[in-house]
Chains A and B, each alone.
Chain A
């Protein structure tokens, strides 16, 4: 992969140049937290932001959108007009989250709604130094080798800029004069030192090998009921998880009742109606069953299917759950470590 160097001082100038490709989006401060927002002023970008409240999945699977418009029983496709855009500042864990959504939405039966939004979006990654809620090293999602068009890595007074795609190469050419090809032996030293610093900052460390087996053996563990006693079934964990992708579909008719829209909106397996079928049978009535499904998806099912967990270690569930049920606590519980519940 090709790498270039950009002076730290030139970052804002380059971000401004990216706007000639399309809308520029990145993390900005909102109260004590961060959100992805349109960067009208490039200096609003929060370079130190670790995790946004909602992960970048919202750009590809919006919380609610129209799939079809119907008149009587005729359905017509409806696609939002997605303009070319650049998402700046995705950390490696969030890029891995997108790669997991790609597996789900682009492989078997490709989803045209997802694909259109994905195709219109350039991904520009940004390295980060973890905090006490990050666990991406345990999920092996703390670095990226693909899944981006450009990836910026801190390098002293510079950024090391990896070009990950042909589009990334085009993006560099929007302001080629800012970049240098001269990577010195000294730069490699700086890069290695930075990597060591990053790796040393992880406070959470778990061995996830064999998680499917451990979950299988813990199927009847009382832990699930103990967690369910606390869980509020609010679904916040699903909203903030970069790989939660469940959705509902509903028809919303207008006042004539002859026409309307078929909408898709986020759902969570924490919601009681999640597995309810017509006739009243609920396949996952118990909260413990629904919690178990959530963690089965993150720590067992995806490993069985793709050889990696579908938790990318971003720490959002740790940050968000009002009663402190999160992937770290569940892993501790499953592996017999002290739980702080």
Chain B
């Protein structure tokens, strides 16, 4: 019988800093056939193991539409991440997954989409963003609103600046403060960017948000103001996890496990299941 807890050896192919404490990691199964056959959905996560430091869950930042490689966007904040930041390119790390429900792509296809990112929320939502762009003809109108604290703290700056230049989506970027006066776009909260959202068919729109906890309340209020149905307002949540497969108990919320039934939830889930956010 297969051991679902056994980490798979993967090679750390590439890494570089996105900000002073957030680093980008490209990882791929050692076996190339395995690398190319690895399937996952935007919104799913993997468990990363580093011997001696332990194991922790991380959102996948890459898109399955670009197979062969897994990408992560990780802040150095705990035991596992501190160890991960010490790892050099070409070293081996333990990875298992993918886990979780991921985004309901089958329902989102053909619909208008609105993605709102704050700070590290880019880690899971970059996967959905790139997936939609790679399958652009399968989706309706597309808005991407992104907020960072400062220009220095913005993740994927070059990539998102390039995406902003595309004419097949409406991409708006903002920073909360711009002390050095270097930011070329809007300065203010991400909710300011809703004034640029027009021509969405709310009944036909999926709105997705991920960011710091304080942001949810205000962004969700904006989604509802646009008339987007509660069950089409999506978010991805964080919890402590030791297994990823509904055994260790730590991510339990009422009758569900975040690792199995989440981490993607709708605003309706939030309303009828207490404790979610």
Contact = CB atoms under 8 A, between A and B. Distances in A.
A319 to B, nearest CB: 23
Given A75-B6, A250-B54, A277 B255 contact: no
B246 A67 contact: no
Contact of A73 (B4, B79, B92): B92
A245 B249 contact: yes
B242 to A, nearest CB: 5
Given A73-B93, A293-B252, A300-B255, A278 B239 contact: no
Nearest to B10: A73
Nearest to A246: B249
Given A248-B242, A260-B51, A296 B254 contact: yes
A305 B49 CA distance: 31
Contacts of A300: 254-255
Contacts of B92: 72-74
Contacts of B9: 73-74
Contacts, number: 119
Given A109-B4, A219-B274, A279 B240 contact: no
A297 B52 CA distance: 32
A105 B6 CA distance: 16
Contacts of A253: 51-52
A108 interface: yes
B238 interface: yes
Interface in B27-59: 49-56
Contacts of A277: 78, 238-240
Contacts of A281: 213, 238
A253 B78 CA distance: 18
B7 interface: yes
B56 A278 contact: yes
B248 interface: yes
A32 to B, nearest CB: 32
A59 interface: no
Contacts of B18: none
B6 to A, nearest CB: 6
B260 interface: yes
Contacts of B248: 246-249, 267
A245 B256 CA distance: 15
B252 A67 contact: no
Contact of B54 (A75, A111, A251, A297): A251
Contacts of B55: 249, 251, 262
Given A109-B245, A279-B78, A301-B255, A274 B53 contact: no
Nearest to A254: B52
A244 B210 CA distance: 32
Interface string A273-309: 0111111010100000100010011001110110000
Contacts of A247: 242, 247-249
Contact of A305 (B4, B52, B80, B255): B255
B276 to A, nearest CB: 10
B56 A275 contact: no
Interface residues on A, range: 35 or more
A278 B78 contact: yes
Contacts of B7: 75
Contact of B1 (A115, A219, A260): A115
Contacts of A260: 51-52
A132 interface: no
Contacts of B235: none
A202 interface: no
A241 to B, nearest CB: 12
Contact of B51 (A70, A248, A269, A274): A70
Given A246-B250, A249-B55, A301-B254, A111 B4 contact: yes
Nearest to B5: A67
Nearest to B78: A278
B240 to A, nearest CB: 5
A111 B1 CA distance: 9
Contacts of B260: 108
A248 to B, nearest CB: 6
Nearest to B99: A109
B77 A301 contact: no
A108 B249 contact: no
B54 A249 contact: yes
Contacts of B245: 108-109
A104 interface: yes
Nearest to A303: B255
B9 to A, nearest CB: 7
A156 interface: no
A257 interface: yes
A267 B254 CA distance: 18
A77 interface: yes
Contact of A304 (B5, B75, B255, B274): B255
Contacts of B234: none
Nearest to A71: B51
12 contacts: A70-B52, A75-B49, A77-B6, A104-B246, A109-B245, A245-B247, A246-B250, A249-B248, A250-B54, A262-B55, A304-B254, A304-B255
Given A112-B3, A259-B51, A277-B238, 6 more contacts: A75-B51, A111-B247, A247-B247, A251-B53, A269-B252, A300-B255
Interface of A: 67-68, 70-75, 77, 104-105, 108-112, 115, 219, 245-251, 253, 257, 259-260, 262, 267, 269, 274-279, 281, 283, 289, 293, 296-297, 300-302, 304-305
